[in-house]
Structure 1
Amino acid sequence: MNKPLCALIAVLAASGGCNTDSQIYRDQPLVAKVETGMSKDQVQQIGGQPLSITQRTVEPGTCFDYKLTQAGHQQPYNVSFDSQGKVDHKSFMTCAQWSRAQQKAREYSPSTGGMGGGGY
């Protein structure tokens, strides 16, 4: 596994693991039905209009913010789309949080002089 991907996984685990119990929301339509490769229209048919739509800042694309509600609790959730408008990521964080996680992972990339040493 490459080092930037490992760094991204570590950042996501640290930032997302403390915020939610994904089991609570696993039956929510956005969590249960949205899959990688779906279009924006397909996602909106499942989850409705997002709270906000933002342009991604690290990789070209778009991100939809939603708020999941279950048993009186609310949890942010995002669905992120690549430059072709297809789902490439979803997680229990806001689009802004996801963008920061991607940026941090990129900062640790060997190609940008971060920790990680030499390339392959």
Structure 2
Amino acid sequence: MRYAILALVPLLSACSFSFMKFDNEPVVQAAYANGATKNKVIATGGKPDSEVSIPEIKGTCLNYTLRKDGETMPFYIAFDKSGNRKHYGYISCQDARVKGVFKQ
């Protein structure tokens, strides 16, 4: 039985780490960068799919859809009112809000 569990690990990890293929995308690199700002991210990553207000951080959140090798992945970057990056990740702004990412 324990060998069956070991056989599942590669399958589960492949799904869990599929986002890593997007790590070199320009908008992701811009979000990861030290001192990332809204202006720098948009200049690098282009116009987002949408922008939503995030009252919890008194700022905004940009939604992007990353595309590579026929796959898509949501990616969000949230900024405070000064345009400084506060949060980012491989989900949408709406999902981040539901998960409580923006709660102070």
Give the TM-score of the pair, scaled to structure 1.
Answer: 0.64
Structure 2 partner of 1:89:
87
Number of aligned positions between the proteins: 89
Superposition CA RMSD, Å: 2.3
Deviation at 1:85, TM superposition (A): 1.2
Give the TM-score of the pair, scaled to structure 2.
Answer: 0.73
Q: Find the structure with the greater CA-based Rg.
A: 2
Identity level (%): 25
Contact 2:51 2:60 survives alignment (8 Å): yes
Give the structure, 1 or 2, with the largest relative contact order (CA under 8 Å, sep 6 or more). 1
Moved segments of 4+, more than 6 Å = none
Deviation at 1:73, TM superposition (A): 0.3
Structure 1 partner of 2:22:
25
User: Where do 1:62-101 residues align within 5 Å?
Assistant: 62-101=60-99
Q: Distance in 2 between matches of 1:46 and 1:68?
A: 14
Give unpaired runs (5+ residues) of structure 2. 1-14
Amino acid at match of 2:78: S
User: Where do 1:38-117 residues align within 5 Å?
Assistant: 38-102=36-100, 106=103
Q: Deviations over 1:38-71 (max 9, x none)?
A: 2211111110000101001432110000000010
Deviation at 1:20, TM superposition (A): 5.8
Give unpaired runs (5+ residues) of structure 1. 1-17, 110-120
Q: Distance in 1 between matches of 2:82 and 2:19?
A: 28
Q: Deviations over 1:93-118 (max 9, x none)?
A: 00001111126x85xx9xxxxxxxxx
Amino acid at match of 1:28: E
Structure number with higher strand proportion: 2
Q: Distance in 2 between matches of 1:73 and 1:25?
A: 10
Amino acid at match of 1:25: F
Q: Deviations over 1:8-44 (max 9, x none)?
A: xxxxxxxxxx676222111111122322532211111
